[in-house]
């Protein structure tokens, strides 16, 4: 086992990995490098806070396996460390007969992935659980829930430090080089150098750039940022949603569709949509970065994606610019919802990998190159599955 391990990124994945590595190799010196001033400032701290199990994912895929293992490990971790969470279950709603077919496919996938307790709700059972929801068919997924991922990350940071590891904030990794004996020298933006035996990059929205920067190779995919915007239900309208209410997602996309989430600390969130963002780490409609925009526009895969998905792209942009278009997505499930019951909420940006042929990379993607491991694609349910992804990396890539 190598002794000095550096991890880039204090998102939930980098932290879960640091902790798992310390558990498996207690003698290793583990250092996490994070460019921001605290943990989880990007995807991991700006997501829906949902514990997903493996309902949606292709049976046999890494995502399906690690989602199912992941939700169980994450719930056990939350119980052990008193982290706010609740296994409240979720209802997936089909609005018409076409969606009913997709819902049946989803139930089949879920059963193949080993989910327990999947049940169709008849109209009176749905009314008892979610009185305001209208559905052609509704599937209850009882294993899913809600959690405070920021508290998960704070706990991981404490556990890592208690075991002698370091989590260094304001430490942007600016480059790496190799010594003659094969060690990796990591250099931060402030010019500090660290000699490592193994480097693992969990850089989320920057994963393809870190891959190029650290290996000198062209990444096999490109990260395209998709901003997800939320709205909140006004307090007086919160009673319209009791638990989690999701639409049947379009099977062509990895996004789950605008849904209703009861937040673990109270409040009801609606969203996220999935709008192509002009800045990788930009959280408002006006966020713009010229290098990020050029990076997306000059990528063949991006142009192919846009040309093949014009309708999807236009509908998502409309839901960003128009409150009515956003409301339309939510009203498919709760028709009595009105615009004045919604107020603007927060936003997150998804790191979604795109292949050169324009297809969205659905599965988790991890690559090893010499003494480096790169997590290139870890989209939803990456937070739920983070502990399981970390165990998988330790088992399969580190020896
Ligand atoms: C809107 C939205 C909703 C989602 N909802 C859910 C959900 O409900 N449930 C779920 O399971 N998943 C959800 N996800 C997915 C989940 O959030 C991600 O899969 C997960 O957070 C990925 O974690 P990460 O650590 O890989 O990435 P990140 O959290 O993005 O962390 C990467 C870190 O790397 C750091 N970094 C990058 N470059 C450098 C550098 N050069 N030097 C140092 N540090 C660097 C960044 O600053 C960042 O902190 C959602 C995602 C989004 C965006």
Q: Is 51 within the bounds of a domain?
A: no
Is residue 224 helix, strand or coil?
strand
Last residue of one domain, picked from the residues 142, 165, 180? 142
Mean pLDDT in residue range 61-71? 96
Q: Taking CA 262 as the corner, what is the angle to CA 117 and CA 318, rounded to the nearest 5 degrees?
A: 105
Q: Is 56 within the bounds of a domain?
A: no
Ligand 1 atom with minimal separation from the 378 CA = 19
Condensed to tens digits (0 to 9), the pLDDT of residues 370-396 reads: 999 999 999 999 999 999 999 999 999
Query: Do 242 and 316 share a domain, yes or no?
Result: yes
Query: Do 215 and 233 share a domain, yes or no?
Result: no
What is the band of 125 on the pLDDT scale with cuts at 50, 70, 90?
very high
DSSP one-letter string for 312-331: HHHHHHHHHH-HHHHHHHHH
Query: Do 339 and 391 share a domain, yes or no?
Result: no
Do the beta carbons of residue 146 and residue 9 sit within 8 Å?
no
* 263, β-bridge pairs: none
The residue written with tokens 């499930």 in the block is: 333
Q: Is 52 within the bounds of a domain?
A: no
Long-range contacts of 278-284 (CB under 8 A, 24+ apart): 279/225, 280/205, 280/206, 280/223, 280/225, 280/349, 280/351, 281/42, 281/205, 281/225, 281/349, 282/225, 282/227, 282/349, 283/46, 283/227, 283/346, 283/347, 283/348, 283/349, 284/347
Q: Which two tokens stand for residue 378?
A: 């870890």
pTM over 0.95: yes
CA pair distance 198, 200, nearest whole angstrom: 7
Residue 48 confidence (pLDDT) above 50: yes
Do the beta carbons of residue 246 and residue 92 sit within 8 Å?
yes
Task: Return the number of other C-beta atoms located less than 10 Å from residue 71's C-beta.
Answer: 25
109 Cα–ligand 1 center, Å: 26
What pLDDT, on the 0 to 100 scale, is given for residue 5? 98
Contacts of residue 126, Cβ cutoff 8 Å, sequence gap at least 6: 91, 133, 135, 138
Mean pLDDT in residue range 353-362? 95
Which carries the bigger pLDDT value, residue 255 or residue 34? 34
What pLDDT, on the 0 to 100 scale, is given for residue 337? 98
CA pair distance 15, 69, nearest whole angstrom: 18
Pocket around ligand 1 at a 6 A CB cut-off: 8-14, 33-36, 40-44, 46-50, 52, 172-173, 202-206, 210, 228, 272, 348-350, 378-384
Q: Is 59 within the bounds of a domain?
A: no
Query: Do 375 and 233 share a domain, yes or no?
Result: no
What pLDDT, on the 0 to 100 scale, is given for residue 2? 53
Query: Do 183 and 132 share a domain, yes or no?
Result: no
Q: Is 61 within the bounds of a domain?
A: no
Query: Do 355 and 266 share a domain, yes or no?
Result: yes
Ligand 1 atom with minimal separation from the 171 CA = 43
Last residue of one domain, picked from the residues 103, 122, 142? 142
Q: Which two tokens stand for residue 54?
A: 């493996």
Query: Do 95 and 226 share a domain, yes or no?
Result: no
Tell me the residue range of the domain where 306 lies. Answer: 222-360
Condensed to tens digits (0 to 9), the pLDDT of residues 140-182 reads: 999 999 999 999 999 999 999 999 999 999 999 999 999 998 8
What is the band of 1 on the pLDDT scale with cuts at 50, 70, 90?
very low
310 Cα–ligand 1 center, Å: 27
- The region that residue 178 occupies, defined by phi over 0 for left and psi between -120 and 50 for alpha, beta otherwise, is beta
Query: Do 256 and 371 share a domain, yes or no?
Result: no
Condensed to tens digits (0 to 9), the pLDDT of residues 245-294 reads: 999 998 888 899 999 999 999 999 999 999 999 999 999 999 999 999 99
Mean pLDDT in residue range 330-348? 97
Residue 333 confidence (pLDDT) above 90: yes
210 Cα–ligand 1 center, Å: 14
Query: Do 238 and 347 share a domain, yes or no?
Result: yes
Structural domains counted in the chain: 3
Q: Is 77 within the bounds of a domain?
A: no
Do the beta carbons of residue 176 and residue 184 sit within 8 Å?
yes
CATH number at residue 257: 3.30.9
Q: Is 79 within the bounds of a domain?
A: no
Is residue 37 helix, strand or coil?
coil
Q: Is 58 within the bounds of a domain?
A: no
Query: Do 107 and 197 share a domain, yes or no?
Result: no
355 Cα–ligand 1 center, Å: 20
Most informative mutation of 19, 187, 192, 382 for ligand 1 (most atoms within 8 A of CB): 382
Query: Do 242 and 307 share a domain, yes or no?
Result: yes
Ligand 1 atom with minimal separation from the 36 CA = 47
CATH number at residue 36: 3.50.50.60
Query: Do 182 and 323 share a domain, yes or no?
Result: no
């Amino acid at each position: 086992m190598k002794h000095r391990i550096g991890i880039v990124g204090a998102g939930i994945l980098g932290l879960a990995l640091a902790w798992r590595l310390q558990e498996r190799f207690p003698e290793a010196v583990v250092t996490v490098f994070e460019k921001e001033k605290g943990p989880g400032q990007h995807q991991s701290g700006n997501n829906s806070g949902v514990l997903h199990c493996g309902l949606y994912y292709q049976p046999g895929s890494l995502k399906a396996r690690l989602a199912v293992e992941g939700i169980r490990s994450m719930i056990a971790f939350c119980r052990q460390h008193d982290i706010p969470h609740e296994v409240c279950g979720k209802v997936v709603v089909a609005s018409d007969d076409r969606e009913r077919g997709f819902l049946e496919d989803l139930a089949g996938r879920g059963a193949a992935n080993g989910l327990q307790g999947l049940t169709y709700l008849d109209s009176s059972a749905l009314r008892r659980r979610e009185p305001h929801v209208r559905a052609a068919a509704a599937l209850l997924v009882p294993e899913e829930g809600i959690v405070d991922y920021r508290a998960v990350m704070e706990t991981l940071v404490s556990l890592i430090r208690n075991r002698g590891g370091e989590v260094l904030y304001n430490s942007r990794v600016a480059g790496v080089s190799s010594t003659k004996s094969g060690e990796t020298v990591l250099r931060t933006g402030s010019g500090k150098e660290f000699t490592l035996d193994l480097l693992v990059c969990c850089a989320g929205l920057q994963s393809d750039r870190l891959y190029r920067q650290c290996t000198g190779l062209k990444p096999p995919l490109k990260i395209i940022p998709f901003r997800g915007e939320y709205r909140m239900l006004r307090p007086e309208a919160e009673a319209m949603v009791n638990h989690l209410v999701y639409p049947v997602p379009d099977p062509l996309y990895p996004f789950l569709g605008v849904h209703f989430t009861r937040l673990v600390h109270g409040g009801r969130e609606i969203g996220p949509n999935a709008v192509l963002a002009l800045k990788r780490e930009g959280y408002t409609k006006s966020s713009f970065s010229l290098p990020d925009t050029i990076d997306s526009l000059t990528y063949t895969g991006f142009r192919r994606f846009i040309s093949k998905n014009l309708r999807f792209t236009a509908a998502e942009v409309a839901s960003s610019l128009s409150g009515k278009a956003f409301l339309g997505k939510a009203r498919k499930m709760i028709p009595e919802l009105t615009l004045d019951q919604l107020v603007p909420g927060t936003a997150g940006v998804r790191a979604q990998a795109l292949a050169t042929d324009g297809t969205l990379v659905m599965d988790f993607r991890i690559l090893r190159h010499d003494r480096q491991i790169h997590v290139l694609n870890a989209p939803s349910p990456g937070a739920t599955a983070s502990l399981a992804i970390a165990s998988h990396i330790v088992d399969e890539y580190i020896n």
